[in-house]
Structure 1
Amino acid sequence: MAAVRSWLTSLPNQIAFASSGVNNRSPVVTSSLIKASSEDGSLTEKDCLRRRQILVGLGALTTTLSRGKFALAEEVPEKFRSFVDFEDGYTYFYPADWREFDFLGHDSAFKDRFAALQHVRVGFIPTDKKDVHDLGSMDEVVFNLVKNIYAAPNQIPTVYDMQERTEDGKNYWTFEYELASPSFSRTAFATIAIGNGRYYTLVVGANERRWSRLRNRLKVVADSFKILDI
């Protein structure tokens, strides 16, 4: 579990978008454009180049339409946006008025424009585990994470709630916790899941003084995290 401290940094092909209408019709290409003429019996260099261009273009169009279909299928709640990373295989919602920023050692992150402690971040590390249940019992894993990984030496950790959900054959553990120190306290939700040979973690939280007002909104973020097959 100590490996959780060292998140991998990557440069994913990341897409942030609001819910919008998408033309989800599949592309249609006539067969005469992608096969050799039966009269010639062979392809010239010009024919090969033309065929390659058509196939590459078709592949790019298919990928674009697939992503569009995914965006259309996801029902984004009002005042939220959807973040989808097809390269690294995950998606989640975040408040529409938050902006993207770099969070050291994490793959993606968004924060409130005025309150930096209000933010969501996602990181992942490689793993040979296939499911969160392979890590151990939920109680044991969650308490170990909060106490030994998330909490600083001067912070007192408290776990309030733990939940499990299953979507598309993948299991997700979401838990609420508080880290209290002499100067301030911060409360957050975290969601962990395993897929694609990776151990994913999403954390979304805020200053304790704002927590009661923001809790339900941030729970939407935590519950929206999903792994995409890559």
Structure 2
Amino acid sequence: MAVSSLSLSFASKPFAHNSVERGWISPAECAAVSVTKCSKKIAQFDEETQCAVSGNCKRRALIFGMGAGALTMNSLRPSPLLAEEIPEKYNIFVDKVDGYSYYYPSDWRDFDFLGHDSAFKDKSLQLQNVRLSFLPTNKTDIRELGPMDEVIFHLTNDVYSAPNQIADILDMQEKTIDGRNYWTFEYVLTSPNFSRAAFATIAIGNGRYYTLIVGANQRRWRKYRNMLKVVADSFKVMDI
């Protein structure tokens, strides 16, 4: 497996939000505004997690890990994913129908996160979670969306954050795995009464724009950051 990476770290200044009235759509769908102008507006779903409703259907795929059973919607056939070494205290979620996989902490449980294809959360800290969504695109690579810093600036300020929040970008990285490019970035959303930190990883493949977000309350970020970074870095798109 060929892997290369590029990293850029910085602390962003507070950004002013667009004063034009706007609606909310899924993070992945709004991310595609760099590709086509968003016209679909949907009401804001959850202020604390800053997620929004989209048309994706929740799907259960294949879960591997210590003590985990398996539920699959398609036939099980040999795959390199099944042979890879899963880090201790993590499971792997594999969706061979929709073409992606990622690790998640083995003590997390799956749940229905509206507008997302799959999601897992901590049993006791529900704001500590990972979720994945996607939407169709005619692009073949994330570099076609534009320069990495401009795209990530747009995502954190105009898509992931609410009008009363300030977005700070802490780090952004590009890596290439088997010829496919991935962007992973770390950011904090701060509102008057709440702050949340997260990693997001985006990639394009199979005619789909994939977005994985894993985060936690900012007060717990220092303790759990490295654990959640493993999740963000593990996301892979498979050819289907």
Fold similarity call, TM over 0.5:
yes
Q: 1:133-144 counterparts in 2 under 5 A?
A: 133-144=143-154
With structure 1 as the length reference, what TM-score do the two structures score? 0.77
Contact kept, 8 Å, 1:12 with 1:87, in 2: the verdict is no
Alignment-derived partner of residue 56 in structure 2: 9
Alignment-derived partner of residue 114 in structure 2: 104
Q: How many residues align?
A: 187
Contact kept, 8 Å, 2:186 with 2:200, in 1: the verdict is yes
Contact kept, 8 Å, 1:175 with 1:190, in 2: the verdict is yes
Percent identical across equivalent pairs? 58
Contact kept, 8 Å, 1:93 with 1:224, in 2: the verdict is yes
1:149 to 120, 138, 159: 159
1:19 CA displacement: 6.2
What is the root-mean-square deviation of aligned Cα atoms in Å?
1.8
Alignment-derived partner of residue 64 in structure 1: 76
Alignment partner of 1:178 is 2:188: yes
Alignment-derived partner of residue 100 in structure 2: 90
Q: Could you say if the C-alpha distance between residues 19 and 169 of structure 1 is closer, same or farther in structure 2, counting changes exceeding 3 Å?
A: farther
Unaligned runs of 5+ in 2: 1-31, 41-51, 68-73
| Structure showing the higher helix proportion among its residues | 1
Q: Which residue identity lines up with residue 71 of structure 1 in the other structure?
A: L
The structure with the larger Rg is 1
Alignment-derived partner of residue 229 in structure 2: 219
Contact kept, 8 Å, 1:187 with 1:206, in 2: the verdict is yes
Please give the alpha-carbon distance, in whole angstroms, between the structure 2 residues aligned to 1:66 and 1:118. 32
Please give the alpha-carbon distance, in whole angstroms, between the structure 2 residues aligned to 1:19 and 1:171. 30
Alignment partner of 1:121 is 2:168: no
Please give the alpha-carbon distance, in whole angstroms, between the structure 2 residues aligned to 1:9 and 1:171. 24
Alignment partner of 1:81 is 2:94: no
Q: Which residue identity lines up with residue 139 of structure 2 in the other structure?
A: K
Alignment-derived partner of residue 71 in structure 2: none
Please give the alpha-carbon distance, in whole angstroms, between the structure 1 residues aligned to 2:100 and 2:86. 15
Please give the alpha-carbon distance, in whole angstroms, between the structure 1 residues aligned to 2:60 and 2:125. 27
Contact kept, 8 Å, 1:159 with 1:175, in 2: the verdict is yes
Q: Could you say if the C-alpha distance between residues 83 and 209 of structure 1 is closer, same or farther in structure 2, counting changes exceeding 3 Å?
A: same
Q: Which residue identity lines up with residue 229 of structure 1 in the other structure?
A: D
Alignment partner of 1:207 is 2:212: no
Q: Deviations over 1:169-225 (max 9, x none)?
A: 100000000000111100000000000000000000000000000000000000000
Q: Deviations over 1:119-138 (max 9, x none)?
A: 00000010000100000000
3-state SS, counterpart of residue 218 of structure 1: helix
1:16 CA displacement: 1.1
Please give the alpha-carbon distance, in whole angstroms, between the structure 1 residues aligned to 2:81 and 2:66. 10
With structure 2 as the length reference, what TM-score do the two structures score? 0.74
Contact kept, 8 Å, 1:8 with 1:124, in 2: the verdict is no
Alignment partner of 1:198 is 2:208: yes
Q: Could you say if the C-alpha distance between residues 178 and 11 of structure 1 is closer, same or farther in structure 2, counting changes exceeding 3 Å?
A: closer
